[in-house]
Structure 1
């Protein structure tokens, strides 16, 4: 499993107003190719609410789209709901409104109840593998979603595009949000695999391997 994200130099996924489309056309084309290689792409509910992405590859092969939405906040007119070019799965909890579940299913969305209060990510990954033979799974944020997958030890690789901008803002979402680790003894350590520079846009792409056994 890998996290793929574009961030500012100061580690922000978006501005305080939610603006997140700051990567170059060349980097977006790279993202589409990575999606075409993936069996599933996972985002959190806030990514759908803030960006309303299509989450397709724009190519010949689209990944399964997975939205983690414990409170079932996803709107019925979201593009991942109305667009039929790829399967959409919403992973939610037993607290979700039954009528909303029914309406999503009527629109062709698969709704999986995977937990009582929080979505069980390990069950989600296991079910994706068992039902759809998903092997390459790509997580595209946001910061809270990235944190949950990292905390559970489910991520093997990070691919980060560093855009040459500084956004600032205490309330702006970062690459990894959530509660955070208390000390260095608990933190996740990475090994740098490669560095690529997109000279036309001054972006830098960093690829890291997650070191297990922390």
Structure 2
């Protein structure tokens, strides 16, 4: 039975040897301007963006829609100028000083009960330190979504079903590899856009688009290639999950 949830698309850039960052897990800025424009276009077609805490810690920011044509298109469709940016994290251990909390976007936190308590206590401490009100607090999430399994893990399926119930129909997933792996295991991914960039990073510990424990060959998710586009030295691969 098809799950009632948003249509999910993973968008990632990787090296020619399949790494999304170097072995130090530095922010991956090896994509070209064309790759950034492609990412922004995918974000602009989404109602919400989902990113893991590790990805947010690495970059300290997210990509907002800035191209006038994309902004105008969203307005014409009756959408807000920016999709909601949802951070998924069990610990909610995030640095309130990063630029992400200053960006003009709507921010939601998806976590479990322990993570929600941690962040709320952290937020109150920050407010007290800065002698400011909760409304003025820069490190603020508009909503804190708590969905957890009986074991205390984040219940991603229940969370996505909730998003669908509030008319979030398209979800862009920006990584990292652990998040993508967990969603593949739950059959929560519909499409992937992978940009292959012309460099070799190597490194046994360098992260890949899909981390986790991995899949056995006979049980591995299968993909259908929808389109291939080459722009200068980069290759853009568009896949759909076969079911």
Q: TM-score surpassing 0.5?
A: yes
Give the TM-score normalised by the residue count of structure 1. Answer: 0.91
1:127 to 151, 157, 162: 162
Describe the SS at the equivalent of 1:174: coil
Match of residue 235 from structure 2:
204
TM-superposed CA distance for 1:96, in Å, is: 2.1
1:46-85 matches, cutoff 5 A: 46-59=54-67, 60=71, 61-83=81-103, 85=104
Query: Residues 99 and 197 (structure 1 numbering): CA distance in 2 closer, same or farther, change over 3 Å?
Result: closer
Task: Give the corresponding residue for 1:147.
Answer: 181
Is 2:75 aligned against 1:42?
no
- Deviation, structure 1 residue 77: 2.0
Q: Quote the residue 2:36 is aligned against.
A: 28
Cα deviation for residue 49 of structure 1 reads: 0.9
CA distance in structure 2 between the partners assigned to 1:149 and 1:104 by the alignment: 29
In structure 1, the residue matched to 2:74 is none
Is the CA contact 1:147–1:177 (under 8 Å) kept in the aligned structure 2?
A: yes
Aligned to 2:12, the other structure's residue is in SS state strand
In the other structure, the counterpart of 1:86 is 105
Per-residue CA deviation, residues 149-181 of structure 1 (Å, 9 max, x unaligned), is: 111101111110000111000111101001112
Q: 206, 213, 218: which one pairs with 1:185?
A: 218
Give the conservation status (yes or no) of the 8 Å contact 2:22–2:203. yes
**Distance in 1 (alpha carbons) for counterparts of 2:115 and 2:173:** 23
Q: Specify whether residues 118 and 78 from structure 1 end up closer, same or farther in structure 2 by C-alpha distance, changes over 3 A only.
A: farther
Structure 1 residues 97 and 111, CA gap change in structure 2 (3 angstroms): closer
Between the aligned partners of 2:31 and 2:118, the Cα distance in structure 1 is: 38
Query: In 2, distance between residues paired with 1:56 and 1:103?
Result: 26
User: For this pair of structures, how many residues does the alignment match?
Assistant: 207
TM-score (norm 2): 0.80
Identify which of 141, 161, 167 aligns with 2:201.
167
Q: Which runs of 5+ in 1 are unaligned?
A: none
User: How much has 1:104 moved relative to structure 2?
Assistant: 4.5
User: Larger radius of gyration, structure 1 or 2?
Assistant: 2
Instruction: Tell me the secondary structure at the aligned position of residue 11 of structure 1.
Output: coil
Asked whether the equivalents of residues 91 and 118 of structure 2 are also in contact (C-alpha less than 8 Å), the reply is no
Higher relative contact order (CA 8 A, sep 6+): 2
Cα 1:104–1:198 shift into 2, 3 Å: farther
Conserved? CA contact 2:93–2:119, under 8 Å? no
